[in-house]
């Protein structure tokens, strides 16, 4: 019943896509497409919430006679699907609400409106699918519709390049997933997830690597992340929010579904691969984000970091459960899944904010913004909430999930294997480093965009965004606060998911006094977001009261002091690049081979001095540039085959036939 309702919701979305295609020429098409999407996502959100809380056992399933004739299309909502369905549609509902306002300013609505509902439908289907065929079709549908959205502003060369790299990486990812499912199904060839679960994977290590590549390329694990910071910013902002906040989570779902549910227990050493890649992803993602001055690209790189945090949790869960430590595995998995939820909230919120800024000023480049807090106070407030949350600062939600991850790391000395004992603390240090760098990154993002003085007339004449967009941003800001101060409710809701996947759950949190959360036992560690929030609130109010009662309340406005040398030109402010300069010098000189060259004019010379900064993308240079070179070399070489005579083609066919016959005859 639930599954049928969910599929109806998806059908509504697909209908909306067809309708939008038919009516895209109409001026007000966005006025009904986005509200329909909003309502469909809200209904699906309700279905997901009720499925997660009710926890029906066995999970409701549905088989439709479409797809491959001997398989059909299986759909199922278990606890894991329900959770990710919730995340998907929470992000979807928020983005649709935002787009009700934002979509009106779209310059090419005909290129966005049909694909947007299709993209939402694709993501929902991935989460609902219960056989490999439906999963892959939905996965590819999701990739292609998001690719179309990335290409919606295809007149800019940068976007075309982004789209090209995205489609190559997406196809490659699907290919590896296809191979992984082939390995999982084995020679028996049952492609329904129920059949896959019942047979042990033939080559678990290879399968896990393939799955890590396939889902990691969609989620943005280093070194498969290259498309992400190009493609996410290229799309319209509400789609960027969906791609960063939701589609990467669907990729995480793919990983969790296959590795924890379908594959069966893997050997512990495969967790080393996951944890190491995740740690590197964290640090490289946040450092790359710090080097950016395009607001949306900064946010996209930051998604890479957060995916790293999520995969650290997943890797730890894998390591713990391989060693039969169920309670720590449940903790690590809960941390990862809670971060999935949190990241969906604040990254969507931040992309909405970036969209509002883009709308108000026409700029994504932070170096041309500044001082927006005066003209866009509510957007600034919501964006600041998102910045605080993503920087893992209490009492907001980002802190809680990172805190849980730290607690999981603290349990890992009990792991028996030596390699993990050495790698986990190093990854813990990387996580701590990336948390601190994230704070620096978002001081930069907020400080340069919203604070200071406007750097261009466009930034000075910005206006507050529309009501629907503001409603979406403020709602997500509120959710960030709620899930930060009442994390126990969310952790308890995740209990059936971890119970199903690793066979244990975190202790029941809502029964604890004052709604605090404890990962293992109260003597070990506890955190109470509600109390911390109340403490800060009360002491702030108390201070304001005391100060305003006993102290001077006078305020005088005067020109800025600036040590007596204020400069009226806004160009003398710190920019995004100059803010990041110390960090670029400390970390970037190693990670990006960053160099600075100062070309100073000689005294008396009227020529302008130049500061040249070079930052190299080593991942691109070491992995992709040689690969692209190899591919073009091969293509060049194979190109000769296009210009043969008919006799040569016939002999080629003959040789191929002989070769195949030989192969068949000697095959055991």
Partner 1 sequence: MAVIRDLAAQGVQMLLVLALAPLLLGFTRMVKARMLRRRGPPLLQPYRDLLRLIRKQAVIAENASWLFRSGPYMIFAATWVAAALVPTFATGLTFSWAADLIAITALIGSARFFLALVGMDIGTSFGGIGSSREMMFASLAEPAMIMIVFTVALIAGSTQLSSIAQFILTNASLRVSLGLALVALIIVAIAENGRIPVDNPATHLELTMVHEAMVLEYSGRHLAMIELAAATKLLLYVSLIACIFFPWGLAGPDGDFRAFIVGIVSYLIKLSVGGFLLVLFETSIAKMRVFRVPDFLGIALMLGLLGTLLRFVSGSF
| Residue 359 · residue 102 · CB < 8 Å | yes
Interatomic CA distance for residues 645 and 642, integer angstroms: 9
Q: State which residue, 191 or 527, has the beta carbon closest to partner 1.
A: 527
Closest approach, Cβ 9 to partner 1, in A, equals 39
CB of 26 to partner 1, least distance (A): 42
- Nearest distance, CB of residue 205 and partner 1, angstroms: 25
Buried b (16+ CB within 10 A) or exposed e, 40-54: bbbbbbebbbbbbee
Q: What are phi and psi of 658, to 5 degrees?
A: -60, -45
Q: Which of 143, 498, 469, 559 is nearest to 328 (CA)?
A: 498
- Measured from the CB atom, is 41 or 485 closer to partner 1? 485
Quick one: which of 1, 157, 551, 608 contacts partner 1 (CB under 8 A)?
A: 551
Shorter beta-carbon distance to partner 1: residue 194 or 524 = 524
Q: Is 377 in the site for partner 1 (CB under 8 A)?
A: yes
CB-nearer residue toward partner 1: 321 or 412 = 412
Q: What residues between 584 and 603 interact with partner 1 by CB under 8 A?
A: 585-587
CA atoms in the 13 A half-sphere facing the CB of 668:
0
Position 549 contacts partner 1 (CB under 8 A): no
The Cα 491–Cα 509 span in angstroms is: 7
Helix (H) / strand (E) containing 63: strand 61-64
Asked if 572 interacts with partner 1 (CB under 8 A), we say: yes
Q: Which stretch binds partner 1 (CB under 8 A): 114-122, 217-225, 317-325, 524-532?
A: 524-532
Q: Is omega for the bond preceding 223 within 30 degrees of 0, making it cis?
A: yes
578 binds partner 1 (CB under 8 A): yes
Q: Cα torsion for 163, 164, 167, 171, to the nearest 10°?
A: -170
- Binding string to partner 1 for residues 469 to 508, with x set by CB under 8 A, is what? ----------------------------------------
**Residue 520, CA distances (Å) to 317, 339, 394, 411, 658 in order:** 15, 18, 21, 10, 65
> If binding is defined by CB under 8 A, does position 515 make contact with partner 1?
no
- Least distance to partner 1, CB of residue 363, Å: 17
Kindly tell me which residue out of 157, 555, 608, 635 binds partner 1, with binding defined by CB under 8 A: 555
Q: Is 558 in the site for partner 1 (CB under 8 A)?
A: yes
Q: Which is nearer to partner 1, 159 or 573 (CB)?
A: 573
Say how far apart CA 650 and CA 32 lie, in whole Å: 58
Contacts of 250 (CB under 8 A, 6+ apart): 84, 88, 123, 126, 127, 142, 218
The least CB distance from residue 548 to partner 1, in Å, is 9
If the CB atoms of residues 60 and 454 are measured against partner 1, the closer one turns out to be 454
Site for partner 1 in 352-371 (CB under 8 A): 370-371
- 384 near partner 1 (CB under 8 A): yes
Instruction: Please report, as residue ranges, which positions from 402 to 441 form the binding site for partner 1 (by CB under 8 A).
Output: 403, 406-407, 409-410, 412-413, 421-422, 424-426, 428-429, 432-433, 435-437, 439-440
CA angle 231, 147, 20 (to 5 degrees): 125
374 near partner 1, rule: CB under 8 A: yes
Establish if 523 lies at the interface with partner 1 (CB under 8 A). Answer: yes
Q: How far apart are CA 170 and CA 506, in angstroms?
A: 36
SS3 state at 621: helix
Binds partner 1 by CB under 8 A, chosen from 23, 39, 443, 458: 443
Question: Which range in 196-204, 232-240, 361-369, 582-590 contacts partner 1 by CB under 8 A?
Answer: 582-590
Q: Which CB, 422 or 628, lies closer to partner 1?
A: 422
**Residue where the block lists tokens 């799309």:** 235
Measured from the CB atom, the residue of 2 and 411 that comes closer to partner 1 is 411
Residues sharing a CB contact under 8 Å with residue 466, sequence separation 6 or more, in sequence order: 101, 102, 104
Of residues 129, 132, 583, 594, which one binds partner 1 by CB under 8 A?
583
Assess 397 for contact with partner 1 (CB under 8 A). Answer: no
Among 19, 63, 273, 532, binds partner 1 (CB under 8 A): 532
Position 540 contacts partner 1 (CB under 8 A): yes
Q: State in angstroms the smallest separation of the CB of 497 from partner 1.
A: 25
Site for partner 1 contains 511 (CB under 8 A): no
Q: How far is CA 564 from CA 183, 451, 454, 559, 560, in A?
A: 71, 21, 21, 10, 9
The answer to whether residues 222 and 329 touch, using CB atoms and an 8 Å cutoff, is no
- Shortest distance (Å) from residue 453 CB to partner 1: 4
Nearest partner of 309 among 435, 209, 494, judged by Cα: 435
DSSP character string of 124-157: HHHHHB-BHHHHHHHHHHHHHHHHHHHGGGTTSH
Least distance to partner 1 from the beta carbon of 296, Å? Answer: 20
Nearer to partner 1, 20 or 392 (CB): 392
Closest approach of Cβ 424 to partner 1, in Å?
Answer: 7
Which residues 250-289 are close enough to bind partner 1 by CB under 8 A?
A: none
- Locate 67 and state its tokens: 């797809």
């Amino acid at each position: 019943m639930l599954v049928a309702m969910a599929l109806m919701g998806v059908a509504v979305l697909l209908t909306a896509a067809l309708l939008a295609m038919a009516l895209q020429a109409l001026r007000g098409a966005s006025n009904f497409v986005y509200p329909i999407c909003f309502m469909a996502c809200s209904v699906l959100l309700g279905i997901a919430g009720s499925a997660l809380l009710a926890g029906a056992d066995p999970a409701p399933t549905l088989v439709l006679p479409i797809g491959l004739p001997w398989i059909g299309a299986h759909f199922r909502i278990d606890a894991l699907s329900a959770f990710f369905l919730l995340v998907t549609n929470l992000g979807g509902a928020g983005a649709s609400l935002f787009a009700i306002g934002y979509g009106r300013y779209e310059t090419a609505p005909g290129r966005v409106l049909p694909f947007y509902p299709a993209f939402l439908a694709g993501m929902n289907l991935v989460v609902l699918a219960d056989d490999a065929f439906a999963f892959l079709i939905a996965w590819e549908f999701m990739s292609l519709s998001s690719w179309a959205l990335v290409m919606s502003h295809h007149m800019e060369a940068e976007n075309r390049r982004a789209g090209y790299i995205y489609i190559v990486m997406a196809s490659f990812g699907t290919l590896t997933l296809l191979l992984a499912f082939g390995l999982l199904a084995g020679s028996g060839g049952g492609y329904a997830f129920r059949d896959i679960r019942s047979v042990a994977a033939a080559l678990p290590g290879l399968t896990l690597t393939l799955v890590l590549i396939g889902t990691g390329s969609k989620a943005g694990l280093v070194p498969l992340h290259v498309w992400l910071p190009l493609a996410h910013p290229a799309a319209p902002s509400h789609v960027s929010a969906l791609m960063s906040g939701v589609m990467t989570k669907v990729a995480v779902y793919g990983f969790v579904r296959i590795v924890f549910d379908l594959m069966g227990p893997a050997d512990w050493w495969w967790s080393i691969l996951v944890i190491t890649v995740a740690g590197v992803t964290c640090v490289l993602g946040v450092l790359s984000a710090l080097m950016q001055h395009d607001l949306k690209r900064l946010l996209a790189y930051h998604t890479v970091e957060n995916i790293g945090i999520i995969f650290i949790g997943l890797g730890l869960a894998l390591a713990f459960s391989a060693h039969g430590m169920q309670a720590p595995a449940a903790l690590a998995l809960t941390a990862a899944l809670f971060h999935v939820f949190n990241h969906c909230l604040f990254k969507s919120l931040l992309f909405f904010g970036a969209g509002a800024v883009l709308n108000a000023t026409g700029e994504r480049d932070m170096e041309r913004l500044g001082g927006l807090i005066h003209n866009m106070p509510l957007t600034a407030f919501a964006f600041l909430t998102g910045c605080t949350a993503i920087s893992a600062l209490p009492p907001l939600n980002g802190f809680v999930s990172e805190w849980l991850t730290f607690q999981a790391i603290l349990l890992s000395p009990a792991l028996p294997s030596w390699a993990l004992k050495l790698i986990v603390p190093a990854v813990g240090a990387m996580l701590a480093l990336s948390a601190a760098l994230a704070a620096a990154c978002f001081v930069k993002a907020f400080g340069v965009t919203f604070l200071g003085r406007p750097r261009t007339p466009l930034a000075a004449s910005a206006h507050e965004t529309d009501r629907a967009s503001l409603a979406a941003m403020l709602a997500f800001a509120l959710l960030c606060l709620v899930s930060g101060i009442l994390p126990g409710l969310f952790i308890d809701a995740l209990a059936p998911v971890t119970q199903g996947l690793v066979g244990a759950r975190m202790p029941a949190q809502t029964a604890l006094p004052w709604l605090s959360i404890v990962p293992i036992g109260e003597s070990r560690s506890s955190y109470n977001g509600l109390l911390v929030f109340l403490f800060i609130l009360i002491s702030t109010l108390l201070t304001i009261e005391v100060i305003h009662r006993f102290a001077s309340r006078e305020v005088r406005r005067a020109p800025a002091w600036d040590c007596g040398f204020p400069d009226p030109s806004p160009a003398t402010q710190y920019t995004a690049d100059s803010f990041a300069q110390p960090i670029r010098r400390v970390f970037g000189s190693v990670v990006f081979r960053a160099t600075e060259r100062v070309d100073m004019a000689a005294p008396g010379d009227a020529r302008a001095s130049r500061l040249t900064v070079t930052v190299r993308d080593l991942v691109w240079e070491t992995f992709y540039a040689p690969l692209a070179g190899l591919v073009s070399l091969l293509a060049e070489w194979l190109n000769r085959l296009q210009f043969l005579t008919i006799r040569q083609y016939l002999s080629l066919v003959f040789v191929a036939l002989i070769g195949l016959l030989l192969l068949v005859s000697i095959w055991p």
